[in-house]
Chains A and B, each alone.
Chain A
Amino acid sequence: GENVEQHPSTLSVQEGDSAVIKCTYSDSASNYFPWYKQELGKGPQLIIDIRSNVGEKKDQRIAVTLNKTAKHFSLHITETQPEDSAVYFCAASESGGGADGLTFGKGTHLIIQP
């Protein structure tokens, strides 16, 4: 089955700086890679996703890059703000996202220092 590794487990950055979280996956058949933000006591919220036919996707301050050859993908957050503090999860799926369950990484606790 799929295995997703996520690093780092904790990331502390100064407000205004950029944050990068990296994930690797094992199953070359995976073709859908979402990123979720989870705040304390809440469910995960989808913030951006990318499919295997695209190398990069951007949405305002958030971007995701995908390297299929190396089987890794990364989340980039620029101009970080205090409200970006949360736990971020990467995930992978080989079915397009909506038909089978997601395999999640272990999460990154992002702390934005004022």
Chain B
Amino acid sequence: GAVVSQHPSRVICKSGTSVKIECRSLDFQATTMFWYRQFPKQSLMLMATSNEGSKATYEQGVEKDKFLINHASLTLSTLTVTSAHPEDSSFYICSASSGFYQPQHFGDGTRLSIL
């Protein structure tokens, strides 16, 4: 149980392209979903928290116009990196939780490479 699927697993695209990443909870309803970013051999840094039907809450230093988050249903959240540049290249990972006292379960991440 508690499976989180993330798609695509890898994206390579040109600078200036917008990229959409999907995060789905397959066997539970996720009241809250989270987006993290992980640089090589480093820890996970929280980017934003989203609740179904509400606007996402962004961490300090994360541009909300650059990283658009939509949490349209209890099983799907999307992250769109708009006008991506090489410095946006990273490993983006989502997590989902079914409630306040429930753990976060992570997807397998999306490796984004901007040329």
Contact = CB atoms under 8 A, between A and B. Distances in A.
A43 B109 contact: yes
Interface of A: 34, 36, 41-46, 49, 89, 95-107
Interface on chain A toward B: helix, strand, loop, or mixed SS? loop
Interface of B: 4, 6, 31-32, 34, 36, 42-46, 49, 59, 93, 95, 97-109, 111
B104 A34 contact: yes
A97 B107 CA distance: 16
B112 to A, nearest CB: 14
A104 B44 CA distance: 6
Contacts of B32: 98-99
Contacts of A104: 43-45
A9 B4 CA distance: 28
